[in-house]
Amino acid sequence: MGSILVTFGLLPVKATPFIAGFSELGIILIMFALGFEENATVFMRSIKRTWGIALFAALGPFIASYFCAIYFWHNTNIAILVGLAMAAITVSLPMAVLKHENLHLTKAATDIMTAAVLDNAASLIYCRNITPLSQWSE
């Protein structure tokens, strides 16, 4: 939706300091809300079992979307961002399906949610360390 609004000139092309701060606040609130639903002990035990799910469930979509973005935009930084965006949502979608089917309290759902948190945290860490947006057009 954001790309459509920017294309039609309804949103600014460059993020203002308010928008940048607001987006970081949103990420913090989402992680905080997730913390209310997750038991830290169960989460730490699940990490040992689910790191493989997190890695491989994110790796395929990352690679596919990375190369699609390279094909269309010929820019490595944009391709990395597109790949990370896809990697961050790949494990969360099955969780939504499990919740719809009332299976969200099962052990499998806990493992999927743990993998999703690991994917999202890794994506956020990597996004924070890539080239600043101001240099992307070069």
Q: Looking at the predicted structure, is the pLDDT value of residue 128 above 70?
A: no
Segments in the chain forming alpha helices (H): 2-7, 17-37, 40-73, 76-89, 92-100, 107-129
Q: What mean pLDDT is reported for the chain?
A: 76
DSSP state of 90: T
Q: What pLDDT score was predicted for residue 33?
A: 65
Q: What pTM was computed for the model?
A: 0.56
Please, which pLDDT band fits residue 66 given cuts at 50, 70 and 90?
A: very high
Q: Looking at the predicted structure, is the pLDDT value of residue 136 above 70?
A: no
Q: What pLDDT score was predicted for residue 117?
A: 76
Maximum CA extent, the chain: 48
